[in-house]
Amino acid sequence: MRTLKIKDLTLDELELLEQDLHENGEKSDYGFYMQLMIVYETMYKKLRSLARNSGPEYDDALQYTKKLLVSHLIKFGAYIKMNHFKDDGDAVESLIKAIGLEQKLPIAYYRLGFLAYKHGKYGSAVRYFQQALNRQLLNDPRYALNQQQEFHAHMYLANSALYVASQTYETMENLPYFQEEQLPNPELSPLFETLSSNEKYLQNHAFYKITKNKTETCSKEACEDLYENSEPNELVLYFNDRENILLFNGEEVIITPTQANMIRHFLLSSSKENPCTRITMRYFYGRTGSDGEVKKNTFIKSIERLRVTLRSIDIPEIIDVTQYRGETAYYFNESVPFTVLFRVDEAFANEYVN
């Protein structure tokens, strides 16, 4: 099937390709997320045409596919080139695509603002953070900012505007005015003091640090120090600015965002009393099977691949299997302590920190 161009496949063939991608996982270092998003984009275009020409019977499938496409563009757009490594340029392009499909996306505008700020594009950052906050006021729960992100958005907005102002004053000082026409010398020290104070706050609260009993914010430097000096038999899952790393007893492995997200979900959202099933983890696997849920084989295979990754650095069996409401289910057995580190600015933060 892959010898054909994806755009030439039928909807049924596209669904089979999507299931095959999820069932077999990332077989190489690149192309998985790009191919998956091309599949969803192609499905969306075909369904949009059918809905326009053949009536409302395709509306539900169209909206569901649109939701999937938007979700993947936001959460996995940075991994278009390489399955294991982020690229800010690809992330920006994907976020802009997502906004083109759906306007009510505070987190997408927020992420664009953060990336613009990171690269010193403060004028763009002002616009994006303002749009993020405007859409947050719509009270639409989809892709909303959590409280920490909303506060950060205000801080980033203020800082971006201050940077624009300071750059403007610097430009004005170099304009070729005659001496008698010089503009008054503005008092900039309070501006720079505010800028410095805000910057320090953002740096000191850049990451979430989550353990079994505590959620707090910390600096990137604190994350690096914890990572370099982790406790014996402590599992550390670190979503840094370039890659996602799993660390245990000095051994590490770079993992894909899918597996990193799964491990994070097991650590933070599962227990023996509340295990994860193919139903509760459906959003890790795109479109659903014939019964409206993830195929059992797809779910079980993904868990087995995850176990292989954990064993590669000698992590003991931390995911146990059970039965829950007639389904095969899995949960973190709490056999080792853990720390999860990820940026406050991540798109998935709202799913785990309110």
Q: Which amino acid is at 275?
A: P
Q: What is the structure's pLDDT at 1? A: 41
Mean pLDDT of 320-342: 96
> What global pTM score does this model have?
0.91
Identify the weakest region by mean pLDDT among 90-104, 112-126, 293-307, 326-340: 293-307
Is 70 exposed, middle or buried (CB count within 10 Å of its CB: 0-12, 13-18, 19+)? buried
State what percent of residues in the chain have pLDDT above 70. Answer: 92
- Distance between CA 336 and CA 340 in Å, rounded? 13
Q: Which amino acid is at 164?
A: V
* Sign of CA pseudo-dihedral 244, 246, 251, 254: negative
Domain boundaries defined on the chain: 6-158, 207-351
- pLDDT tens string 60-91: 999 989 999 999 999 999 999 999 999 999 99
- Does residue 264 sit in helix, strand or coil? helix
Contact criterion met (CB below 8 Å) for 224 and 236 = no
β strands within the chain, DSSP E: 207-210, 215-218, 235-239, 244-248, 251-255, 319-324, 327-332, 338-343
* Sign of CA pseudo-dihedral 146, 245, 260, 339: negative
Residue among 114, 82, 81 at smallest CA distance from 95: 114
Q: Is the pLDDT of residue 178 over 70?
A: no
Neighbours of 308 (CB within 10 A): 10
Q: Is the pLDDT of residue 289 over 90?
A: no
In 177-213, which positions are buried (b, 16+ CB within 10 angstroms) versus exposed (e)? eeeeeeeeeeeeeeeeeebeebeeebeebbbbbbeee
- pLDDT tens string 240-271: 999 999 999 999 999 999 999 999 999 999 99
Q: Is the pLDDT of residue 140 over 90?
A: no
CATH class (in words) of the domain with range 207-351? mainly alpha
- pLDDT tens string 101-138: 998 999 999 999 999 999 999 999 999 999 999 999 88
Question: From residue 140, how far is each of 52, 101, 111, 135, 200 by CA, in Å?
Answer: 26, 16, 17, 8, 31
Neighbours of 46 (CB within 10 A): 19
Superfamily the domain 6-158 falls into: Tetratricopeptide repeat domain (1.25.40.10)
Mean pLDDT of 185-206: 84
**Higher-confidence residue: 208 or 171?**
208
Q: Given pLDDT bands bounded at 50, 70 and 90, which one contains residue 177?
A: low
Per DSSP, what are the bridge partners of residue 217? Answer: 208
For the sheet containing 235-239, what is the strand order?
Answer: 215-218, 207-210, 338-343, 235-239, 244-248, 251-255
Q: Is the pLDDT of residue 56 over 90?
A: no
